[in-house]
Structure 1
C-alpha cells in the first residue's frame, strides 16, 4: 500500500510539473502582447505607441511616408489596408511590413472596409475582415514582434451599435481558431467614438473572449470628446478596470466643438497610453493632414503640434526594444511622389467640406539680422466661411518669435484660430506665436490656422512677417 501511494505521489508530482511547464509555455509571448493594461514586447518591456495613421491603400506608391514619419520621431504607424470589399485588396502586406521593419516602426495593420457597417451600406462585416486576414496569414505569421492586427476600422456605425459586442467576440475567436497569435486591436462602434459606451460597458466580455488574453481596445476621439472632463471620465473607466486601451485615431481642435487634443495628449502621456493621430497626408479634408502633399518639410498646424508640441511624438516616443530601443538616425528622403488614387474619406470628422484655393506669395521683413516670411492660403471654403492657414518660415538664422500682419480688403473676418494668438482691429489682423511654435530653425517652417467669414469676394491679402 505504501509503495502504491509513493508511486501515485510521484505521478502527481510529474503531472504537476508537466502542468507548470505547459502553463509557462502557454503564457510565453511570441511578440507584442498585453500585460495588465499595458502593451509589452516579448522581453516584457513596455511599449507605448506614438505614431500616425497612413492612408496606404489609396497611396500605395508613397512608400517614402514610412521613413518620413520615423524621421519625425514616430515609433508606430497605423497602415490603412483594403480587404477588396470596398478598397484594395491590399496584396502588398509583406512589403508594408518590410517597410515598417526597415524604418524601425511597429506596424498596426487595419482593414478600412468595415468603417461604419450597419450605417454605410458599402461597408464590410468584421467576419469579412477576418477572412482577409486569413488570406494574408502567410505574410503575418512570424511577424508578431513587429505588428499588431487591428481587425477592422470603426466596424459599426450609429445604427444598432449593440451588435458590436457579439461581432467583435466572434471575430477575435475566429482569428484565434485560425492560429493567429498576434496582438489584436479592436475598434469601438459609433464610427469608433463609442459615444453610447457600448465598448466601455462590454469591454470585459470582449477581453475574456480572447483565449490568449492578447487584445487591446481602441477608441477614436473626434468631436464627441470636445471637453476635458469627457476625455478624463472615459479614460478613467478603462484605467480603473485595468483594461488595455489605445487611442487609435484622433484629430485636433481646429474649431470650437472639435476634440480637445491638448487634454487628450496630456492625459495619454500621464497614463502611459498609446496614441496614433489621424493622419499623415492625403485626406479629402485637409484640416486633418499633418503634412501637405506628403512633404515632411511642409508640416501643417496639426503636424507641428502632434510631432513637436508638448506631450507630442518627438517628446515622448521611444523606439521598440526589438529594434534596439533607441531612436535611429533620420532616414534620407527621396523625391518619391504619391501615385494617383481614390480620395480618402474621414467618416468620423464633422469638419466642413474643404477645397484648396490659391496661396499668397510670401512677404518678408527684416528684424535686425533675423528675418521671416509668411504665406497665406485658403485651404477650404463653404458658403460664407472658409479655413485659412499661414505658414511662417525663418530666414538664414533661427528665430525666437514671430508676428504676422495683414489687412483684409473684402470685409473678411477671423472667427476662431489655433496655434497663434490673433487679434483684429477692423480689417487689420495681427497674429503672434504661441509658446510651442515661436522658435523656428533657420530655413524651417511652422504654421497656424483659423476660420473666417466672408461675403462675395475672398481675396488673399498681402502679409508682413517680423521676427525676433
Structure 2
C-alpha cells in the first residue's frame, strides 16, 4: 500500500509540474515569453501586436517602409523572407539589416519564410523541415535578438490538401529549432492556406505547444473569406483564449477573392480580448488582390480605403497600438522624411463642464506636404458628438482625411465626428487624421472643440 500511494503521489506531482509548466512564462534568453495564453516582452510587460505585413523579399529596396508604418503608429511588422527555394534568398547580411531597421524604428520584427506557402498543393512549396534549415543558417544573425525578433517558421505551410501531418511537422520543426539553439518565441501558421477551415490547428494546438521544451510558441490564424461572420471569428479565437493558448491574427484583409472577411469584428474582438493582429499588407500586392494594399505605391501619404480603416479606424492601429516596453531603454529615433513634434504643447481651448477639448499635432512632414492628427477629448461628462475648427495662418490646405467629416471655407477647417467616434465617455478620447499641403511655413493653428 505504501508503494502504491507513493506511485500515485509521484504521478500527481508530475501532473502538477506539467500544468504549472504550461501556465508559466518561458525563460527565453532575455526575450519574449508566453504565459497563460499571453505574450510578454523581456521586461515582463504584456505585448499585443498591432502592425502590418511587409513583402520585403519582393521589394528589398523599400526599406523606408519600416519608418513609414512606425510613423503611422504600428508596433510590429511581419517581414516576408525567402529561403531561396522559390524566390531570391534573403542573405544573412540582409536579414541582419532588416532586424537593425526594425529596432531603429522601435518595431518588433516577426520574420517569416514564405517558401512554405501552400505545401502539398502549391508547386515548388517547401517543407517546414526545409524552412528550419534556413532558420538554422541564420543562427548567428538571430542570436542576441530575442528581445526584438519573433521567428514565424513558415507562411501558410499547407494548402487544402495533405495537411494531416501539420501537428507532427510543426512539433518536429520546433524541436529542431530549440536543439539548434534558437530561444526566440516561435510562431506557427495554420494549414488550409492559413485559414484552418479544417480546425487542424485549433484541435492540435495544445499538443504542439507542449512539444516546445521552452513552452514559448504562439499560433497564427489568417482571416480572409473563411471568417466572414462575427460568430466564426469569436468562436475560433475564443477557443484559444479558453484553452490558455496564445493566438494572433497573423494576416487578414477587409476583402478577398474567397469571400468578405468581417474586419470590424476581427478588430473589435481582438481589442476586447488582448489578441494581436497584423494586417496584410503594406503595399505591392498583385495577382488580382491589389485591393489589399494599405498604401498605394508604398506612399504613406496615399493610404487606401483599407489602409485608412486599419490605421485610423475604430480599434485600429492609432487607437490601440502600444510600443513594446523593451524600447524604453533605447534612444528614440526620428523616422526619415519627418520633422520632430513641436517642443511646446499645441494650443487648446479649455472646455466647459461636459464639453470637449482638441489638440492638433503634425505627425509627419515632408517638402510641400504633411500629415496631421487632431485628438478630441470629452470633458467632465459624456458627449454624443463633436465639432472641431481651426484656421490656417500660412496658406496650408487639407487634401485627404479619415475618421471625420471635414470641410474647408477659405483658411478655416471644420471637422465633425463620423458615426463610430462621436460618442465619448467622460474623459474619453478619439482622433482623426488628414494629409495637408504647405509652403514656406507650417505653423500650428489653435483648434477649438464644441459639443454637437
User: Of 122, 139, 146, which aligns to 2:141?
Assistant: 139
Query: Equivalences for 1:3-402 in 2 at 5 Å?
Result: 27=27, 29-91=29-91, 92-253=94-255, 257-284=259-286, 285-324=289-328, 331-333=335-337, 397-400=412-415
Conservation of the 8 A alpha-carbon contact between 2:399 and 2:434: no
Deviation at 1:235, TM superposition (A): 1.0
Q: 4+ runs of 1 displaced by more than 3 Å? A: 23-29, 253-257, 325-330, 369-374, 392-399, 433-442
Q: CA deviation at 1:160?
A: 2.0
Aligned to 2:53, the other structure's residue is in SS state: strand
In the other structure, the counterpart of 1:10 is none
Cα distance change on mapping 1:33 and 1:328 into 2, 3 Å: same
Report if the CA contact (8 A) 1:31-1:144 is conserved: yes
Equivalent-residue separation in structure 2 for 1:132 and 1:259 (angstroms): 33
Answer yes or no: is the 8 Å Cα contact 2:27–2:33 preserved in 1: no
Aligned to 1:142, the other structure's residue is in SS state coil
**Aligned 8 A contact 1:79 1:108 in 2:** yes
- Which stretch shows the higher mean deviation, 306-315 or 252-261? 252-261
Deviation at 1:332, TM superposition (A): 2.8
> Partners of 1:26 and 1:185 in 2: how far apart?
14
Instruction: Please report how far the alpha carbon of residue 249 of structure 1 lies from its aligned counterpart in structure 2 after TM superposition.
Output: 0.5
Cα distance in 1, alignment partners of residues 27 and 332 from structure 2: 31
- Specify whether residues 149 and 27 from structure 1 end up closer, same or farther in structure 2 by C-alpha distance, changes over 3 A only: closer
User: Using the alignment, how far apart are the partners of 1:172 and 1:256 within structure 2?
Assistant: 31
Gaps of 5+ in 1: 1-22, 335-368, 375-391, 403-432, 445-468
How many angstroms apart in 1 are the aligned matches of 2:434 and 2:407? 7
Mark the CA change 1:399 to 1:59 in structure 2 (over 3 Å): closer, same or farther: farther
Question: Which secondary structure state, in structure 1, belongs to the residue aligned with residue 83 of structure 2?
Answer: coil
Q: CA deviation at 1:165?
A: 1.0
- What is the Cα deviation at residue 184 of structure 1? 0.3
Give the Cα–Cα distance (whole angstroms) in 1 for the partners of residues 434 and 335 of structure 2: 20
Distance 2:261 2:144 in 1: 38
Larger Rg: 1
Cα deviation, 1:169-199, whole Å, max 9, x if unaligned, reads 1110110111110000000000000000000
> How far, CA to CA, are the matches of 2:330 and 2:317 in structure 1?
14
**Counterpart-to-counterpart distance in 2, 1:270 and 1:26:** 25
Whether the 8 Å contact between 2:312 and 2:318 is mirrored in structure 1 is yes
Report what 2:360 is aligned to: none
| C-alpha separation in 2, matches of 1:240 and 1:281 | 35
Distance 2:26 2:78 in 1: 28
Match of 2:436 among 443, 463, 468: 443
Contact 2:225–2:256 under 8 Å retained in 1: no
The residue aligned with 2:386 is none
Post-superposition CA distance 1:232-273 (Å, at most 9, x none): 110111011000111111101479941100000000000001
CA distance in 2, matches of 1:34, 1:213: 7
Instruction: Look up the SS of the partner of 2:436 in the other structure.
Output: coil
SS in 1 for 2:220: strand
- TM-score where L is the length of structure 2: 0.70
User: Secondary structure at 2:415's aligned position in 1?
Assistant: coil
Distance change in 2, residues 1:401/1:190 (3 Å): same
Question: Structure 1 pair 254/166, CA: closer, same or farther in 2 (3 Å)?
Answer: closer
* Alpha-carbon distance in 2 for matches of 1:394, 1:56: 38
Task: Please give the secondary structure, in 2, of the residue aligned with 1:223.
Answer: coil
SS at structure 1 position matched to 2:122:
coil
Cα distance in 2 for residues equivalent to 1:325 and 1:305: 32
Aligned to 2:441: none
For residues 337 and 254 of structure 2, the distance between their equivalents in structure 1, rounded to whole angstroms, comes to 27
- Give distance in 2, aligned partners of 1:219 and 1:320: 22
Q: CA deviation at 1:394?
A: 6.8
Q: CA deviation at 1:434?
A: 5.6
Give the aligned partner of residue 363 of structure 2: none
Give me the CA root mean square deviation.
3.2
Q: Is the 8 A contact 1:398 1:440 kept in 2?
A: no
